[in-house]
Structure formats: structure tokens, C-alpha cells
């Protein structure tokens, strides 16, 4: 999948491509330039429980293995040959480790078909529409894959000053721009948001 996106309110054109063996080098370059993403997670934290016992090198190796096996999905935002950021998505089986999981499961009725679990934008590249473009790319691929119910777990800032690390599940405004609605809170400032997507025609 390759598509063009305008990146929200900016006029800057982005290309969105899926994470695969061809785009892995660009993904890895961005991760390495940003301390392995959130201190060495390498975007593994929603696949498995990560903690102090897991090293950044281990997370990197397991992420690359999942890419080679087709067991991880992300919509990567490119400008030219450079990856600027991404949005991770997948099924609940692929991404079982969500934030506020105990509270989430307490009132769970049915699992969604898809989850949007996390976003990452490289240092110095934030507030330029990367997250908006990445979510659009993820939703386009979900549509191509047959659609279904999609959940996200964004942080509501409520005009608070929130560090970037708290927004790794995505800004609420970006989800609402794409038509997601708030379903229920699962922490003082984190919500389950949902959207139903019809399959692509033809």
C-alpha cells in the first residue's frame, strides 16, 4: 500500500507505506536516531510485555523478525526516502498488550477487529501532520483488508500540558478528525474510541 496524505492542516505532502522488509531499513534508521523509541521499546510494547529485563537489542531483533514474518503492521509516513513516523495497528491477537488493560477488560463486551495502539514521530518533526497522515494510512489499509470495528486508546489532553511520551497512544483530536467516537474512559485521561469501517468496494 502506498498513498499520499496531506498531513492534516499542513500543505506538506507525505507518502504512506506499510512496514515490511523493504521499508524496514528506513523504520530502523528513525528508531535508532530516537534511542530505539521510548528508551528502547522498538514498538514492541503492544506485542509483548516489555520491562527492564528486556534489552533494546532484543526488542529490535524481535521487531525485525516479526516484520520478516509479516506479524506486525504499521503505516509509515515518508517524505522522500526518510521515514518521519508511524502508526501501529493490528488485530487484538497481534497486539494484546494495551494500556490500562485491567480496566479495559473489566467492561469489555466484545473485542474489536482492529486496534490502533501507538504512534511515533521523530524528534523535531512533531506538530507537522505526521500522526494524522499515519492514521489515515492505517485506516486505508484496514479498509483494503475488509474493514470492521477499529479501536484506539488516545490520551485526552483537556488543555493540559502533556509530555510527548504520554501521547504515544495518539492525540484524541487526530482520532476525532477521522470520525472516531468516545466509547468509555479507561483511565483519568485515556479513552477507548471506536469507528466502524466498511470494506473497500470492488
Q: State how far the Cα of 131 lies from the Cα of 85, in Å rounded to an integer.
A: 7
> Which element (helix H / strand E) includes 140?
helix 130-144
What pairs with residue 155 in β-bridges?
171, 190
Ranges under pLDDT 70 in the chain: 1-11, 158-167, 202
pTM of the model: 0.89
pLDDT digits (tens, 9 = 90+) for 12-23: 789 999 999 999
Q: State how far the Cα of 120 lies from the Cα of 100, in Å rounded to an integer.
A: 19
pLDDT at 7: 40
Rg (the chain; Cα; Å): 16
3-state DSSP assignment of residue 130: helix
Dihedral (CA of 38, 41, 51, 47) sign: positive
Pairing of strands 148-152, 82-90: unpaired
pLDDT at 169: 84
pLDDT at 161: 57
pLDDT at 8: 43
Amino acid at each position: 500500500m502506498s498513498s499520499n496524505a496531506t498531513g492534516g492542516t499542513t500543505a506538506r505532502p507525505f507518502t504512506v507505506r506499510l512496514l515490511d522488509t523493504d521499508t524496514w531499513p528506513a523504520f530502523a534508521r528513525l528508531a535508532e536516531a530516537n534511542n530505539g523509541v521510548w528508551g528502547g521499546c522498538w514498538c514492541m510494547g503492544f506485542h509483548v510485555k516489555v520491562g527492564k529485563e528486556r534489552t533494546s537489542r532484543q526488542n529490535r531483533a524481535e521487531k525485525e523478525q516479526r516484520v520478516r514474518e509479516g506479524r506486525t503492521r504499521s503505516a509509515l509516513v515518508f517524505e522522500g526516502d526518510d521515514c518521519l513516523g508511524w502508526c501501529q495497528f493490528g488485530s487484538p491477537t497481534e497486539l494484546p498488550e494495551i494500556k490500562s488493560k485491567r480496566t479495559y477488560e473489566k467492561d469489555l463486551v466484545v473485542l474489536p477487529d482492529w486496534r490502533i495502539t501507538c504512534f511515533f514521530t521523530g524528534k523535531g518533526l512533531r506538530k507537522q501532520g505526521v500522526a494524522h497522515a499515519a492514521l489515515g494510512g492505517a485506516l486505508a489499509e484496514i479498509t483494503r483488508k475488509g474493514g470492521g470495528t477499529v479501536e484506539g486508546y488516545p490520551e485526552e489532553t483537556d488543555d493540559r500540558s502533556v509530555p510527548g511520551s504520554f501521547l504515544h497512544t495518539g492525540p484524541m483530536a487526530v482520532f476525532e478528525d477521522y470520525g472516531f467516537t468516545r466509547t468509555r474512559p479507561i483511565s483519568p485521561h485515556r479513552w477507548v474510541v471506536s469507528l466502524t469501517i466498511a470494506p473497500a468496494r470492488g
